[in-house]
Amino acid sequence: MSIKHVVSRMRVGLALLSALALLALAGCGSSSSSSSSSAATSAAGGATSSSTAAAATGTGTSSSGGAVSVSSCGSKAGVAATGTPINIGTIDTHQPGTDFTDGPNMINAYFACVNANGGVNGHPLKLFVELDQSQPAQVAAAAKQLIQTDHVVAIDGVFDLLECTLDQSYWKQLGIYEMDAGIAPECWSTPNSAAVNMGPRYSSDGAVQYAINSVHASKIVFVQSNVPGTGYIAAGPAAVAAASHVPITELTENVPINDASSVALNLVDKAGPNGAVILNFTPPEALVILQAAQKLGLEDRVKSWGCSTPCDTDFLAKALGPKWNHKLFVNSELVDTDDHNGPEIQLYKAILTKYGSSVAGGIGSFSQMGFVLAKYLVQALDTAKGPYTMKTVNAAIVGIKSYHSVMQCEPWTYGKLALHIPNNTDYTVTPENGKMVTVQGCTKISAADPQIAQYRKAAAAAGIS
Amino acid sequence: MHPFILMALSLPSWQDEQAFLVTGLALGGVYALSGVGMIVLYRTTGVLNLSFGAVGAFGALIAWQLINHSGMNQWLAYLVCVLFSGVLTLAYGMVFGRALAGRDPLVKTTATLGLTLILLGVMDLLWTSNGGASRSITLPTDNHGFIVGQVQVTTTDVIALAVGVVITIVTTAFLRYSKLGTAMRAMANDREITATLGVPVRRVEAVAWFGCGIVSGIAGILLADLVALDATTLTFLVIFTLSAALIARLSSIVITFFAAIVIGVIDALLTPVTALTNYRDMTPFALAAIALLVLNRRRVLSVGRQGF
């Protein structure tokens, strides 16, 4: 072998080592992150888009149940709104590994329905959607764009990894009260944000609570993705377990998970036969762990398995199979639409069918949250006094009190509070032959979590609950 | 107390680690299989195929689609996956491999990153996970197994390791004893002279590209079952394979095999070590760096200087 060859090989080797490191960084950058809403993987590419609520794209006009007409979303069936549009803005994460666009897409579908059936006092709703790839400067710029260029009067429908953290002082300055499906801690802990969901911390609380109170697990192993914010999330389950004098082990795993078999083994070993393993992952990651556990025959080596809300999808139930029937218990922030088929659920499905062709995930937590966010906004706008300005619209939003949706356990209130956790009562569902079914009805999240206790105290003092 | 002592005290017992050894061997077997494919291609064409993982992932997703949406028999679907991976890699090799044949190995390797990114983008478009969609491949061999001590071993684990061993042995024998294998080794030494001797270099390269693609397809199916059927995850598992190849200095297939096994095993064994578990993804990088430094430490290079 010539010297030239040797040198060439060494150079290639060293350069490839650098390429390895770069590849590893790229791999980490594209990994999915844990969140309260199903953080799904999707195509790359960010874009900003301003979209008027789309015209009808479906084929039917009534719900699949036949009892509810889709036109009941608006105040004047069949009458298109033709007044000046009311501009609403939203900022949503859309990047490799995390795509929350189903949320705003469902809001657009709802708006399309309302616009085709009378609008809001004759005014159509126009949603301006800014998509971001979790670059702080980009998120901050998106907020400015919405206000200064698009002239939105409200922020509704934010599903974003960073937005609550970055924009909350800007919204405070402008007097904007955003409605969102929260992810970052600030979505619940600041005065200018209120979420329709519970988020990873409180949803994990619910899963741990069920394992302790209903399954009677004597040990908890709580595992989540190794991403920023894990300390904040883990503090909730730790407090709930401590209040019940149940030992808890808190673990994190890098995502994407490369060796699910080892992870599953580790979790089961640490939980023991009377313990419960609680997962806080997005469905793809939770699925690989659960399937690995099944392949190794581990699913019955612990008392139960639990998961926060992202696992509440029929995709997961179908993929897991019957061995997990009533073995995995998933905290569900919103009602299971398979178990309930009242007028509101029928309307939700009808809007999805007729106007929701861009809602890729179909029926699921994202579109449910989008539906609730749109519904509450429209209801609030109906109460706005005077012309639809930023001041009047946000006064109506912050004044939301006891709005009811069948999707949620309890009435939803905004209010002028230092923090907002208005959705703090939840369901528990479990897989049953390919679908998620309700196994426990509305249950309050434990006030052992100090933040829940703080919110309930503040809400009671304000006469909200 | 000293941190190292604390870490030592929290180490799991050997009994607890045994189960992780099994999972590590299974994954190591697949990394070894992948490493062999990459080394053979590199030695024949000078291209280190960074799209290896992405091609396998694409094939696995096609198999998933055929099984779940077209109702195809799953073994036939896996065959389609393997053939697709072979053909895709061959097509790349015949078009871009040929065009870049005269370029530096680093350029040729970097070009495969382009294929990786294209495949990643297409997979995300075709098989989006929007709405929490999760896909999986479950081989029939997952449902069979046996227990060794207290450790559950699935047939898939055994197959993963066995395929790695068999491919390593067969490839080593092929390169040593067959005419085509000899031609490949000759091309690894000097492509120009080999061509001058009348060896059909393009045909030999085509076989190497196709073979690499076939191995990529097999690895894709196994990793989709053992790890996850996720485009990003499977694409970047090539890092583990690359590390094994680097430890073998991109030349020895046998060393690649053992390096891959060691990487898989160490990665798995670190899982229950709480203090280190979040750092175990560094295993391939750390081992490759150590190996490169240690193995090259005594190399003495004399470079002659031409007169002016």
Quickly state the pLDDT bin for A402 (edges 50, 70, 90): very high
Residue of B132, B246, B272 with shortest CB distance to A17: B246
Omega prior to A247 cis, within 30 of 0: no
Q: How far apart are CA A96 and CA B231, in angstroms?
A: 11
Please judge whether A310 and B132 are an interchain contact, meaning their C-beta atoms are less than 8 angstroms apart. Answer: yes
Instruction: Mark which of A295, A313, A332 sits at the end of a domain.
Output: A332
Q: Chain B, 57-86: which have a CB under 8 Å from a chain A CB?
A: none
Residues of chain B positioned with their CB less than 8 A from the CB of A8: 105
Q: Which class for A373: exposed (0-12), middle (13-18), buried (19 or more C-beta within 10 A)?
A: buried
Q: Quick check: is A7 in a domain?
A: no
Helix (H, G, I), strand (E, B) or coil at A287: helix
Where are the alpha helices (H) located in A30-101, listed in sequence order? Answer: none
Cα first-last separation, chain A: 81
Residues of chain A positioned with their CB less than 8 A from the CB of B150: none
Give the best residue of B16, B69, B130 to mutate against chain A (max A CB count within 10 A): B130
CB pairs under 8 A between A and B: 212
CA distances from A442 to A334, A343, A426, A438 (A): 10, 19, 5, 10
Where are the alpha helices (H) located in A244-334, listed in sequence order? Answer: 260-271, 283-295, 314-320
- Residue B278 CB contacts under 8 Å (≥ 6 apart), including other chains: A226, A252, A253, A254
Residues of chain B positioned with their CB less than 8 A from the CB of A253: 277-278
What is the per-residue pLDDT across A61-108, written as a single tens digit (0 to 9) for each? 333 445 688 999 999 999 999 999 999 999 999 876 678 899 999 999
Residue of B136, B232, B242 with shortest CB distance to A97: B232
Give the best residue of A133, A295, A328 to mutate against chain B (max B CB count within 10 A): A295
Among A20-34, B184-198, B255-269, where is mean pLDDT lowest? A20-34
CA distance A190 to chain B (A): 28
Please judge whether B231 and A310 are an interchain contact, meaning their C-beta atoms are less than 8 angstroms apart. Answer: no
Q: Quick check: is A140 in a domain?
A: yes
Instruction: Mark which of A332, A349, A377 sits at the end of a domain.
Output: A332
Report which of B129, B17, B185 is spatially closest to residue A38, judged by C-alpha positions: B129
Strand partners, A131: A92
Q: Quick check: is A251 in a domain?
A: yes
Among A10-19, A141-150, A210-219, B227-236, where is mean pLDDT lowest? A10-19
Q: How far apart are CA A67 and CA B227, in angstroms?
A: 46
Q: How far apart are CA A229 and CA A183, in angstroms?
A: 10
CA distances from A171 to A165, A166, A176 (A): 11, 10, 5
Domains plus CATH for chain B?
14-127+135-291 (1.10.3470)
Half-sphere exposure of A219 (CA within 13 A, CB side): 13
Q: How far apart are CA B221 and CA B227, in angstroms?
A: 10
CA distances from B162 to A103, A413, B156 (A): 46, 61, 10
CA distance B143 to chain A (A): 7
More confident residue, A413 or B199: A413
Report which of A461, A454, A459 is spatially closest to residue A239, judged by C-alpha positions: A454
Q: Chain A, 122-161: which have a CB under 8 Å from a chain B CB?
A: none
Q: Which two tokens stand for residue A338?
A: 């398979």
Q: What is the residue-averaged pLDDT of chain A?
A: 85
Average pLDDT over residues B170-181: 90
CA distances from A279 to A35, A131, A208, A288, A289 (A): 12, 28, 10, 12, 9
Instruction: Mark which of A289, A306, A332 sits at the end of a domain.
Output: A332
Instruction: Tell whether the model's pLDDT for residue A25 goes beyond 50.
Output: no
Report which of B66, B48, B55, B27 is spatially closest to residue B220, judged by C-alpha positions: B55
> Are A311 and A352 within one domain?
no
> Are A176 and A264 within one domain?
no
The answer to whether A334 and A197 have CB atoms below 8 angstroms apart is: yes
CA distance A13 to chain B (A): 6
Residue of A9, A42, A99 with shortest CB distance to B250: A9
Average pLDDT over residues B209-236: 92
Range(s) of the domain holding residue A209: 200-332
Is residue B20 less than 8 Å (CB to CB) from chain A? yes
Is residue B233 less than 8 Å (CB to CB) from chain A? yes
> Are A208 and A302 within one domain?
yes
Number of domains in chain A: 2
Instruction: Tell whether the model's pLDDT for residue A5 goes beyond 60.
Output: no
> Are A84 and A157 within one domain?
yes
Among A295-304, A306-315, A409-418, B161-170, where is mean pLDDT lowest? A306-315
Please judge whether B134 and A319 are an interchain contact, meaning their C-beta atoms are less than 8 angstroms apart. Answer: yes
Residues of chain A positioned with their CB less than 8 A from the CB of B131: 38, 40, 102, 313, 315, 359-362, 364, 366-367
> Are A125 and A215 within one domain?
no
Instruction: Tell whether the model's pLDDT for residue A321 goes beyond 90.
Output: no
Average pLDDT over residues B111-125: 93
Is residue A304 less than 8 Å (CB to CB) from chain B? no
What is the per-residue pLDDT across A171-201, written as a single tens digit (0 to 9) for each? 999 999 999 998 888 999 999 999 999 999 9
Q: How far apart are CA B131 and CA A145, in angstroms?
A: 28
Is residue A357 less than 8 Å (CB to CB) from chain B? no
Instruction: Quote ipTM for the complex.
Output: 0.77
Please judge whether A44 and B121 are an interchain contact, meaning their C-beta atoms are less than 8 angstroms apart. Answer: yes
> Are A183 and A226 within one domain?
no
The answer to whether A420 and A192 have CB atoms below 8 angstroms apart is: no
Is residue B212 less than 8 Å (CB to CB) from chain A? no
**What angle separates helix A230-243 from helix A199-213, to the nearest 10 degrees?**
30
Quickly state the pLDDT bin for B191 (edges 50, 70, 90): confident
Q: β-strand A48-52 against A125-132: which pairing, if any?
A: antiparallel
Q: How far apart are CA A300 and CA B50, in angstroms?
A: 40
Residue B144's φ and ψ, nearest 5 degrees, are: -120, 150
Q: How far apart are CA A195 and CA A158, in angstroms?
A: 9
Is residue A229 less than 8 Å (CB to CB) from chain B? no
Q: Which two tokens stand for residue A284?
A: 């793809």
Strand partners, A93: A132
Q: How far apart are CA A396 and CA B148, in angstroms?
A: 66
Q: Which helix (H) or strand (E) holds A125?
A: strand A125-132
> Are A141 and A260 within one domain?
no
Average pLDDT over residues A295-324: 89
Residues of chain A positioned with their CB less than 8 A from the CB of B277: 251, 253, 266
> Are A323 and A367 within one domain?
no
B264, closest residue in chain A (CA to CA) = A259
B144, closest residue in chain A (CA to CA) = A295
Report which of A81, A83, A86, A153 is spatially closest to residue A119, judged by C-alpha positions: A81
Please judge whether A257 and B271 are an interchain contact, meaning their C-beta atoms are less than 8 angstroms apart. Answer: no
What is the per-residue pLDDT across A281-290, written as a single tens digit (0 to 9) for each? 887 889 889 9
> Are A230 and A249 within one domain?
yes
Q: Which two tokens stand for residue B180?
A: 């085509």
> Are A153 and A224 within one domain?
no
Domain CATH for A256? 3.40.50.2300
> Are A146 and A225 within one domain?
no
Amino acid (one-letter) located at A42: S
Please judge whether A258 and B281 are an interchain contact, meaning their C-beta atoms are less than 8 angstroms apart. Answer: yes
Query: Is the alpha carbon torsion for B13, B16, B18, B22 positive or negative?
Result: negative
How high is the pLDDT of residue B308?
Answer: 35
Residue of B48, B228, B267 with shortest CB distance to A16: B48
Q: How far apart are CA A465 and CA A444, in angstroms?
A: 13
Share of residues in chain B with pLDDT > 70 (%): 91
Q: Quick check: is A439 in a domain?
A: no
Average pLDDT over residues A345-371: 91
> Are A52 and A192 within one domain?
yes
Residue of A20, A226, A256 with shortest CB distance to B242: A20
Residue B6's φ and ψ, nearest 5 degrees, are: -60, -40
Residue of A40, A44, A310 with shortest CB distance to B133: A40
Place of tokens 């294998």: B181
How high is the pLDDT of residue A236?
Answer: 96
The answer to whether A368 and A103 have CB atoms below 8 angstroms apart is: no
More confident residue, B49 or A2: B49
Q: How far apart are CA B237 and CA A27, in angstroms?
A: 9
Please judge whether B228 and A38 are an interchain contact, meaning their C-beta atoms are less than 8 angstroms apart. Answer: no
How high is the pLDDT of residue A57?
Answer: 31
Q: β-strand A154-158 against A125-132: which pairing, if any?
A: unpaired
Instruction: Tell whether the model's pLDDT for residue B99 goes beyond 90.
Output: no
Q: Quick check: is A141 in a domain?
A: yes
Q: Quick check: is A216 in a domain?
A: yes
Quickly state the pLDDT bin for A60 (edges 50, 70, 90): very low
For the CA atoms of A22, A28, A31, A34, what is the dihedral angle to 10 degrees?
A: -170
The answer to whether A150 and A172 have CB atoms below 8 angstroms apart is: no
Among A35-39, A380-384, B218-222, where is mean pLDDT lowest? A35-39
- Residue B102 CB contacts under 8 Å (≥ 6 apart), including other chains: none
How high is the pLDDT of residue A183?
Answer: 85
The answer to whether A179 and A377 have CB atoms below 8 angstroms apart is: yes
What is the per-residue pLDDT across A228-248, written as a single tens digit (0 to 9) for each? 778 999 999 999 999 999 999
Where are the alpha helices (H) located in B46-136, listed in sequence order? Answer: 52-69, 74-92, 98-99, 105-126
Strand segments, DSSP code E, in chain B are: 145-148, 151-154
CA distance B236 to chain A (A): 6
* Cβ burial A445-456 (10 Å sphere, 16+ → b, else e): bbbbbebbebbb
Q: What is the residue-averaged pLDDT of chain B?
A: 86
Amino acid (one-letter) located at B120: L
B280, closest residue in chain A (CA to CA) = A254
CA distance B83 to chain A (A): 25
Q: Quick check: is A317 in a domain?
A: yes
- Residue B286 CB contacts under 8 Å (≥ 6 apart), including other chains: none
Q: Quick check: is A381 in a domain?
A: yes
CA distance A397 to chain B (A): 28
Share of residues in chain B with pLDDT > 90 (%): 50
What is the per-residue pLDDT across A426-453, written as a single tens digit (0 to 9) for each? 999 999 988 889 999 999 999 999 999 9
Average pLDDT over residues A360-369: 86
